[in-house]
Amino acid sequence: MSGILVLAEHDGGVFRKTAAELVAKAASLGASLGLDVTVGTIGDAPVGSLGAYGAQRAVRVSGDFGAYSTLQTAGAVAAMIDAVGASIVLAPASYAGKDALPRVAARLGAGFVADCTDLRADGGALVARRPMYSGKAYVDARVSAAIGIFTVRPNSFGAPAGGGAEVAVTEVAFAAVADPITVVESRVPESQAVDLTEADRIVSGGRSLGSKERFDEVIRPLGAALGATVGASRAAVDAHYAPHGEQVGQTGKTVNPQLYVAVGISGAIQHLAGMRTSRVIVAINKDATAPIMEHAAYAIVGDLFEVVPALVEALKEA
Q: Give me the percent of the chain exceeding a pLDDT of 90.
A: 84
pLDDT at 1 over 60: no
Q: Quick one: what percent of the chain has pLDDT higher than 70? A: 99
Domain range list for the chain: 4-171, 196-317
DSSP state of 14: E
Q: How many CA atoms lie within 13 A of 1 on its CB side?
A: 17
In terms of Cβ atoms closer than 10 Å to its own Cβ (0-12, 13-18, 19+), residue 139 is exposed
Q: How far apart are CA 214 and CA 218, in angstroms?
A: 6
Phi/psi for 235 (5° steps) reads: -60, -40
- 149: phi then psi, degrees, rounded to nearest 5: -110, 125
Quickly name the fold that domain 196-317 has. Answer: Rossmann fold (3.40.50)
End-to-end CA distance of the chain: 55
Stretch (H or E) spanning 59 = strand 57-61
**Does residue 189 register a pLDDT over 80?**
no
The CA distance from 238 to 220, in Å, is 18
Give the strand order in the sheet containing 111-116.
111-116, 148-152, 88-92, 4-7, 37-42, 57-61, 169-171
The residue with greater pLDDT, 1 or 145, is 145
- Domains 4-171 and 196-317 agree in fold: yes
Return the closest-CA partner of residue 262 out of 228, 217, 238: 228
C-alpha span between 87 and 25 (Å, rounded): 16
* pLDDT tens for each residue of 257-306: 999 999 999 999 999 999 999 999 999 999 999 999 999 999 999 999 99
Sheet containing 259-263: order of strands: 229-232, 201-205, 259-263, 280-285, 298-301
Chain mean pLDDT for the chain:
93
pLDDT score for 185: 85
Query: Where does 4-171 sit in CATH, by number?
Result: 3.40.50.620
pLDDT value, residue 163: 80
